[in-house]
Structure 1
């Protein structure tokens, strides 16, 4: 997959900052655990708090982690915000062959923090990070709640390689690549790739293995990939498997990065989801 694949940024994160602040003060700590490049956003309270693992997509910066850390820690939910390529020394240079064990180690870290209730852990991510977010919830039953923005129903190959972007136990996660189509837009290439039913079947996530409620948020006019159509497919998949947890799909008539106008509502949906599924589940 060429480097131009996913030169995108979920711009929603920039609208999250400095709005809808909650009632909790919080502190930010640099995580010193294994090889994690992460920050802990910890509410100041005498009660044990739930925690959410938060990470972005193809934008390697701290933006997604910081935005989610601010908005949820101020509402009484700890956030372990991490980056997983390029940004910090020791990380892979590109979004290629990222071990899922790296994300699992963030859950391991949560269990070492005495202020965190490790029975109440969730994950939030989006765009390319949606793939790792789903995989984390599928691979590790300690994830009890999920929020994904601009989801993909399948795993895709890396930014610079035709091999999978993700690995687990040293093996590639089954993935799909984009066809090289002359004069085609990116979304046309995605739609063409998704017509290969055999490859789609192999690369589709085992959503039925997720052990908690989900909130999925898609963009109807997404020009990066067909996120709303893929989310509808996820919903149909879960219905087929009689998924026992609640799943909510909200879509907005925007592009992949959503918009300043929709951001407040989306932000509140995310906060409310984790408050209801983690914070209030004592």
Structure 2
């Protein structure tokens, strides 16, 4: 089954880390340092400019404070009530490689991926890791050897974390223990594609964005393809949102390679398509839970 897309907004550089929050879609506009919020009519607003060009990703603590992972700096930043950004966690001692994605689960545990060993000659990314930051501020690595760590999501019962391993063409799952540790690593779905950003729905399926294949795909655990949404440019990430949670938002842009990610080109768009089931889990689309 394939869906038609609607253009929500255009003129972005590279939209990443989309999150549905307080009735709007929030997007990290890589290459500019901007965090942009877009409403249902496509009206956009730069809500924050951060000291990062790329990568940087966002989520919220349970008390509503915004978190930003400044990937190349190795810093997790937190926005305070007065709008200022302070350091929530310093990850520089864990890796000199850039950090990528963040997800906060329903208990306030923060997971950040990326980092890891330095890439081999000719490679852009080495094996990635997942780091846990608990509500008391403890920082520890909870997974390693991730094949290009990308999107992450946590199931609504807070018991499973799913991560996109782009270079392994799969979604990988971990059990989450009471203390936030990860175990029982397993393949959740082998894919005919390169998963980037992901989100989960109420029917137990996952959506993943695929840059080289210019599409978003909905799959069951095990890899059965349920639905495909095609675009005319690379799809970097996706998020379920809207009033009923059944709008799939896609960040898409023309891909010219890692060397040209920072440029004056503004081919980035937010697209939308109808989805059969609402979003669940974390990142959460439900206003007020973040």
Give the structure-2-normalised TM-score: 0.32
- In proportion to residue count, which structure has more helix? 1
- In proportion to residue count, which structure has more strand? 2
